[in-house]
Amino acid sequence: MSTEDRRSRRTRRLLRDALVSLALERGYSHVTVEDITERADLGRATFYKHYADKDALLSRVVSDLLEELHERLLPLVPTSSVGFTGKPVLELFRHALEERDVYRVILRGEGDGRALQEFTDARTAAAAQVFRARAEHHGVTPRIDIDVLARAWVGEQIAVMRWWLETNPPQLSPEEVTGMLLDLSLRGRYWANGFDGGPPDRAEEIRPED
């Protein structure tokens, strides 16, 4: 007796899988409720017993995924140590590889991008929290606003993850992508482009004559 009728769980899983595979094939907006129930081999009326509409189903898929991810990250998030271990990022990429199709649907911004936004916002909030804890723990003052930092970092992750998940077949292991991403993010683009030392001071560069 795990909280729910066996039939319900089966149905929800079928609907979820059908939506994901169809969205990958045709794009979310070109998938109808009938398409979904047909592929899931269920009556159309059954759909509406579980979800108000297509968007509700997608929204549920995202929040389930976020919850699962959260549980996997919990034991890895730096609490006392607060260093740059990179373990959470690695776990994120491993999770993405396991749930590749769902991630692809979300990262493609299907469904008016609300799914992607929800995902991004959750990751950004988590990153900002870690950054704040780290700054306090090491008694260090960030040189750039922490929220901007978090957004940029998550933006990087997601952009690279999107590319990585769409390459067929995936050539890089989760360890390899995560490694590149961390090197790039921590050391910066000046280093990544192959230059040595620090970048030139941009103070006068960024403000031309105008």
**Window 128-187: residues binding a copy of itself (CB under 8 A):** 131, 134-135, 138, 140-145, 147-149, 151-160, 162-163, 175, 178-187
Residues 140-179 interacting with DNA (rule: CB under 7 A): none
What is the smallest separation between the CB atom of 7 and DNA, expressed in angstroms? 4
C-beta closer to DNA: residue 33 or 66: 33
Q: Rule CB under 7 A: which of 4-33 touch DNA? A: 5-8, 10-11, 32-33
Residue numbers 84-103 binding a copy of itself by CB under 8 A? 84-87, 90
Nearest distance from C-beta of residue 163 to a copy of itself, angstroms:
5
Q: According to the 3-state scheme, what is the secondary structure of the chain?
A: CCCCCHHHHHHHHHHHHHHHHHHHHHCHHHCCHHHHHHHHCCCHHHHHHHCCCHHHHHHHHHHHHHHHHHHHHCCCCCCCCCCCCCHHHHHHHHHHHHCHHHHHHHHCCCCCCHHHHHHHHHHHHHHHHHHHHHHHHHCCCCCCCHHHHHHHHHHHHHHHHHHHHHCCCCCCCHHHHHHHHHHHHHHCHHHHCCCCCCCCCCCCCCCCCC
Distance from C-alpha of 34 to C-alpha of 45, rounded to nearest angstrom: 9
Measured from the CB atom, is 18 or 89 closer to DNA? 18
Q: How far is the CB of 188 from a copy of itself (least distance, A)?
A: 3
The correct pick among 9, 83, 125, 129 for binding a copy of itself (CB under 8 A) is 83
Site for DNA in 188-207 (CB under 7 A): none
Binding piece for DNA, criterion CB under 7 A, among 38-46, 59-67, 111-119, 183-191: 38-46
Minimum CB separation of residue 112 from DNA in Å reads 14
Judge whether 93 and 177 are in contact, CB under 8 Å.
yes
| 54 is a contact residue toward DNA (CB under 7 A) | yes
